Amino acid sequence: MATGARPKVFCSWGFPEAGLAILREHADVQVWDGPDGAPRDVLLDALRNGAAGVLALPPTDRLNVEAMDLAPDLKVISGFGVGFDYVDVPEATRRGIAVCNTPGTLTETTADQAWALMLGAARHVPEGDRYVRSGEWRKYEPALLLGTDIHGATLGVVGMGAIGTAVARRARGFGMRILYAGRSRRPEAEAETGAVHVPLDDLLRQSDFVSLNCALTAETRGLIGTRELELMKPTAILVNTARGGVVKQAELAAALRAGTIASAAIDVFEVEPVAHDDALVACKNAVFAPHLGSATFATRARMSRVACENIVAALEGRRPPFLVNPAVWQE
């Protein structure tokens, strides 16, 4: 890059303008504005051609060794979101590339979505909608689409981080008993929500609703499979707004088919988009959303702003507000 030239930043989607406008004040910004996000070869070309910053979409874009090998000028990878399982963080750290995310921007919105799915699955909201539209509804029936009470039930939260705590906080309004599992005790969350820390197996045995809110890590990949599903009550509902990889998807499909658990409410899949003929999608006793956890106008604008502020800071030599790998930053 010539002295005085503005750094190049590549954005793999037409992210909300709230953030892009900030970026444009500081950088030479290339935004992919095609319908499906930048194809991999376009992303790799941008890296090869001197991008100093990338605004990427987790979990779709893959910022791995292959991508970093092509990126001589790359200084910052900023994700439009909180999860950073799409980037090889140790490799980025080794190369001195800052990896940034947007914690705090989507906590409440994602908790709302977990609840939307939980309510939808428990009370058959999608099926009811389809039933009315199809013209099948002939009369009010005493046993039509009977569901499960949420109020007074037991909620198990797996991963009591910011989003898990926000899910648990909402559960108080429904008079639920709240259990949580995770590596460490969270005294503040316990004080705020009344949640009780238990081993995962106990949580699975006792909960009527299990909400997955943990990050996808080596430890949580495939955390929920046949063994865990068999520990759950046959009336229980599994809610996943975390990452698809936390659940062994084929084993969940088999458990739903067999009636091992009653239902699942799924926002995230092992591979996204999930194939429409995937065994899980074929399960009638499940509710799906296409990764909409953070999908509100206000939250997406906030995510864009924070993600772009991270890039600007890194390119100006300031510590980015939300740095995943602080080891790269020497003040």
Residues annotated as catalytic (active site), given as ranges: 243, 272, 291
Segment 30 to 59, residues that bind ligand DGY, using CB under 6 A: 58-59
Q: Identify which range of 41-49, 80-88, 119-127, 162-170 contacts ligand DGY by CB under 6 A.
A: 80-88
Residue 81 lies near ligand DGY (rule: CB under 6 A): yes
244 near ligand DGY, judged by CB under 6 A: no
Alpha-carbon gap, residue 331 to 328, rounded angstroms: 10
Considering only the stretches 2-10, 79-87, 117-125, 144-152, report the one whose residues sit in contact with ligand DGY under the rule CB under 6 A. 79-87
182 scored as a contact of ligand DGY (CB under 6 A): no
Residues 25/309, Cβ–Cβ less than 8 Å: no
83 binds ligand DGY (CB under 6 A): yes
Please spell the DSSP secondary structure of 195-215, one letter per residue: -EE--HHHHHHH-SEEEE---
Strand ranges for the chain from DSSP E: 8-11, 28-31, 51-56, 76-79, 98-100, 154-158, 177-181, 196-197, 209-212, 237-240, 263-266, 286-288
Backbone angles phi, psi at 288, to 5 degrees: -125, 155
Cα(90)–Cα(97) distance, rounded to whole angstroms? Answer: 10
88 within 8 A of 71, measured Cβ to Cβ? no
| Range in contact with ligand DGY (rule: CB under 6 A) among 16-24, 78-86, 87-95, 318-326 | 78-86
Around 7, how many Cα atoms within 13 Å sit in the side-chain half-sphere?
21
How many residues lie near ligand DGY (CB under 6 A)? Answer: 8
Q: Is 106 in the site for ligand DGY (CB under 6 A)?
A: yes
Token couple for 160: 């009591």
Q: Which of 107, 213, 294, 299 binds ligand DGY (CB under 6 A)?
A: 294
Q: In angstroms, what is the minimal distance from the CB of 293 to ligand DGY?
A: 5
Output the smallest distance, CB 18 to ligand DGY, in A. 16
Interface residues with ligand DGY (CB under 6 A) are: 58-59, 81-83, 106, 293-294
